[in-house]
Amino acid sequence: MSALVMMMHMFMECLTPGDRPRVPEPDLVMAAPEQVQAFANSGDHHGPLAPIYLYLAIQATSTIPVGGRVLDLACGPCNQLAVLASLRPDTEFVGVDLSAAMLAQARATIERAHLRNVTLVQGDMRTLAGLPDQSFDGVFSTLSLHHLPTPSDLATTARAVTRVLKPAGGVFLADFGRLKRPATLDFLVHDRESEQTPLFTQDYMNSLRAAFSLSELRRAFEALSTPEHALQVHTTALAPFMVILRRNVLASTTDRAWRHATQAAFAGLTDSHQRDLLALANWFQAGGLPLPLALNRTR
């Protein structure tokens, strides 16, 4: 991705007044086999989402207590969850998703990664039916909230999270933010088009169009903020093309085993993916959220 072109688009976002109407995703549940496979491929080790997933996993570990039980909302094919569970083998993860086809793909992902600390459950993140009250030490979700149809569904999801989360539980929610300019969306979607399948390119555009605004995300999840555990909101600098909401940040990322596993995962990325991860880290750092450790490029 060209840093200068990206900077230009972000400055133009700052100068553009008003807002862009949200276009909800065409389908709440991704069930078509070709869509499921394309999405799963995009997040595997060589897919375009790989650096984003590792970056978000690194940041998410700051809200996950050692030895805790953590819920992943809308886990999809489990590419993201597999990265996080690999970095934190001391933690029990439960992935919930509404799509049976996604969960079938998720089981294959977990088996390939030889993970023994992940359980999968079919369910709706707006209700989390069947999951007991205050049964999780942490809740996280990445690049999934925009699939919800309306802001009211965001608020309903927040209430479900509040119910299943322990009072001092950690929260990490990350998603795209709503951008204003069609030209910015076109740049983000097509910048690496040669490395993407046409289905992924279309899904990416649908996701950006369906992104909630920063104010909608704040309003929906403000109930998760308490005097003891305030909800922190972080965005990329200049314009919120990505947003992170987190609560109860811990110091567990100083663990030597975690740092070694994280460096090894970063070293395993391709050169272009390492550069993409560090570019995303720089955008968030410029917005006030640094990485909890320094990553050294190996190429």
Using left for φ > 0, alpha for ψ between -120 and 50, and beta otherwise, residue 74 falls in left
Query: Tokens 């933010």 label which residue?
Result: 177
Q: For 129-175, how does the pLDDT look when each residue is reduced to its tens digit (9 = 90+)?
A: 999 999 999 999 999 999 999 999 999 999 999 999 999 999 999 99
108-113 average pLDDT score: 95
Q: Indicate the SS3 state at residue 29.
A: coil
8-27 average pLDDT score: 92
Local confidence band at 35 (pLDDT 50, 70, 90 cut-offs): low
Local confidence band at 43 (pLDDT 50, 70, 90 cut-offs): low
What's the pLDDT score for residue 38?
A: 61
What's the pLDDT score for residue 72?
A: 98
Choice between 66 and 128, residue whose per-residue pLDDT is larger: 128
Three-state secondary structure of the chain: CCHHHHHHHHHHHHHCCCCCCCCCCCCCCCCCHHHHHHHHHHCCCCCCCHHHHHHHHHHHHHHCCCCCEEEEECCCCCHHHHHHHHHCCCCEEEEEECCHHHHHHHHHHHHHCCCCCEEEEECCCCCCCCCCCCCEEEEEEECCHHHCCCHHHHHHHHHHHHHHEEEEEEEEEEEECCCCCHHHHHHHHHCCHHHCCHHHHHHHHHHHHHCCCHHHHHHHHHHHCCCCCCEEEEECCCCCCEEEEEECCCCHHHCHHHHHHHHHHHHCCCHHHHHHHHHHHHHHHHCCCCCCCCCCCCC
Q: For 77-98, how does the pLDDT look when each residue is reduced to its tens digit (9 = 90+)?
A: 999 999 999 999 999 999 999 9
Among 154, 128, 56, 137, residue whose Cα is nearest residue 93 = 137
Q: For 250-291, how does the pLDDT look when each residue is reduced to its tens digit (9 = 90+)?
A: 765 568 889 999 999 999 999 999 999 999 999 999 999 999
Q: For 219-247, how does the pLDDT look when each residue is reduced to its tens digit (9 = 90+)?
A: 999 989 988 889 999 999 999 999 999 99
What's the pLDDT score for residue 33?
A: 64
Helices and strands (H, E) in the chain, number of each type: 11, 7
Question: How high is the mean pLDDT of the chain?
Answer: 91
**How far, in Å, CA of 86 to CA of 122, rounded?**
22
pTM reported for the whole predicted model: 0.94
Choice between 27 and 201, residue whose per-residue pLDDT is larger: 201
Query: Tokens 């805790």 label which residue?
Result: 68
What's the pLDDT score for residue 191?
A: 87
Local confidence band at 199 (pLDDT 50, 70, 90 cut-offs): confident
CB 18: neighbour CB atoms within 10 A? 6
